[in-house]
Amino acid sequence: MANVAVIGAQWGDEGKGKVVDWLASRADIVVRFQGGHNAGHTLVVGSETYKLSLLPSGVVRGKLGIIGNGVVVDPLALLAEMARVSAQGLAVGPHNLRIAENAPLILPLHAALDRAREAARGERRIGTTGRGIGPAYEDKVARRAIRLCDLAEPATLAAKLDELLLHHNTLLAGLGAETFEKSALLESLLGLAPRLLPFAEPVWERLDEARRAGKRILFEGAQAVMLDVDHGTYPFVTSSNTVAATAASGSGIGPGAVGFVLGIAKAYSTRVGAGPFPTELFDATGQLLGDRGHEFGTVTGRRRRCGWFDATLVRQAVKVGGIQGLALTKLDVLDGLPEIRVATAYRIGAETLHRLPAAAGAQAAAQPIYETMEGWPGSTRGARSWADLPAQAVKYVRRIEELVEAPVTLLSTSPERDDTILMRDPFEG
């Protein structure tokens, strides 16, 4: 049996939560390995809807959830999320949630710096959530981060806060923002310690034991390949690596144990925030896709930009993300459209490209080259087998497979967890 890593193949918001939730029923452990509470997964379970940002989706299925060292953790956001799901009847405690002891923490000063920078950028702002994820990752790389394990050592914590405040208060003052006092931060963190430390452990040991025991591990990615800090539409990206290789480094397990890589893609495209989006639609069809797909960010609440499926972009994500199979979601949103378009390449000036270029100017200039397909009059919503799909819908899925050079191994036809067509079991490798 293989482990499985789930990553987004577009710009996020592809419906990873539903797919991870569906797969988690057959996993033993679900691991978040990168990102922070700037990502969100919506899970519909019967009449209950769970909106998760930091908690691994597996906790909804009664599985052990692990937050790996590659995640930046906002303690207050995590505790608030735990309280929210507890009010919905889902108990979260050390029995079903463990956090890497070396996970970096997001502090209020990180969010303050994030917002101050965005304000200073003006019209050139990136479109961050303002939650401090980027500054927290900067501190990790600069070796000044406060980590979860530091809460157990008050003297270490106090000394590290001195260095942290020297850096951040200088920046905040230069941006005209309010600075922070060490005493208040230290008191707050020491007050949080008894609530957080019971969850802390060297999770790499637990994962190694699970692997040796033949347990199934599901690695749950946040955001998507085109938001990867190296491979995405830089600088309009997140601050972490979102590709499947990060599942290993972000949780403390060898790369050979990551297993089957399942990429999630919508049957069309969406994006939240600023940045290039070659297939974006500004017409009634774009509005229709947004309305039908309920395209609002789980975390931001912002209306998502909508456009046609971009096969060039997804093919690139397949290659750099290590994707072995695709889960295609929201096929039902395309029901009834007279025609459907798919971008197969880009035109930049007189040049035709079959990849998205790295340079920001070239990305902004990329114009899609479309292939037009006939739509289908019937409904795909709720379909649970190929026989339930209109013939033209099947043809559309098969064409996507050809263009992105990866098989569609799972098809989601509604937000309900059981409205799923499985062609290949990812856990079988």
Catalytic residues: 13, 41
Residues 6+ apart with CB under 8 A from 417: 18, 21, 22, 43, 44, 45
| Sheet-wide strand order for 217-220 | 200-201, 97-100, 64-67, 29-32, 217-220, 4-8, 260-266, 325-329, 408-412, 420-422
Cβ atoms of 266 and 277 closer than 8 Å: no
Mapped to the 3 state alphabet, what secondary structure does 328-359 carry? EECHHHHCCCCEEEEEEEEEECCEEECCCCCC
Cβ atoms of 39 and 222 closer than 8 Å: yes
- Token pair, residue 129, equals 């959530």
Distance CA 340, CA 375 (A): 6
Q: Give whole-number Cα distances, 376 to 39, 311, 316, 340, in Å.
A: 33, 20, 28, 9
- Token pair, residue 199, equals 């969850």
